[in-house]
Amino acid sequence: MPDIVTFNVLVDTFCKEGKVSEAQGVLKTMTEMSVELDVVTYNSLMYGHSLWMEVVEARKLFGFMITKGCKPNVFSYNILINGYCKAERIDEANQLFNEMIHQGLTPNIVSYNTHGFCQLGKLREAKSLTRICTLMATFQIYVRTQYCLMALANKGILVRHSESLEQCKVLA
């Protein structure tokens, strides 16, 4: 039976490929199987919407996540800040940056760089940083995939390539 990690990999992959409606189908399956969405699920969906300049939808998901008791993290805010910057809605990006700090979250280098570029009107640099974030997210997918393989191996489903899996445990 698939778990949250498996579902999150599917949702994340669909969203990064611009197939948000397919990701929504995975959410329906998750709900039917009583698997609760977590911050990774919501972040993937928000990223998918932001990728296609659907910042209003991304912001709605952010609010919905909070009403469901799922606490946003720095990545949640960074996704929205990046989305608003790309949409040239600097005031909303600034508001989110300040809200993140008010919520007790510590901005990371991505937060500061994106926020700074937007403040200065350097949207090209902000978009470049977004590309870097996408590459980092691709690496995260690799790590998540390795995590899934390790979980299967631990359950005895995978027995081959144990040496490779041992190396992956160091990454996860």
Q: pTM of the full predicted structure?
A: 0.67
pLDDT exceeds cutoff 90 at 48: yes
**For residue 55, is pLDDT > 60?**
yes
CA dihedral 135, 17, 97, 121 (to 10 degrees): 80
Please, what are the domains in the chain?
Answer: 4-171 (1.25.40.10)
Residue 156: band (very low, low, confident or very high) from pLDDT cuts 50, 70, 90: low
Calculate what percentage of the chain has a pLDDT beyond 70.
Answer: 65
- Give the pLDDT mean for 134-158: 48
Residue 164 token pair? 């490779």
Helices of type H across 33-172 = 39-51, 55-67, 74-86, 90-102, 109-119, 123-154, 162-171
Q: Which residues contact 135 (CB under 8 A, 6 or more apart)?
A: none
Over range 77-90, report the average pLDDT: 87
153 compared with 11, residue with greater pLDDT: 11
Q: Looking at the predicted structure, is the pLDDT value of residue 108 above 90?
A: no
Separation between Cα atoms, residue 44 and residue 61, nearest integer Å: 10
Q: Is 158 helix (H, G, I), strand (E, B) or coil?
A: coil
- Is the per-residue pLDDT at 163 higher than 80? no
Tokens linked to 1: 């039976």
Structure tokens at 155: 């359950």
Long-range contacts of 56-65 (CB under 8 A, 24+ apart): 58/83, 65/37, 65/39
Which amino acid is located at 107 in the chain?
P
DSSP tag of 155: T
Lowest mean pLDDT, pick from 59-68, 76-85, 102-111:
102-111
- Predicted confidence (pLDDT) at residue 18 exceeds the cutoff of 90: no
Q: 161: helix, coil or strand? A: coil
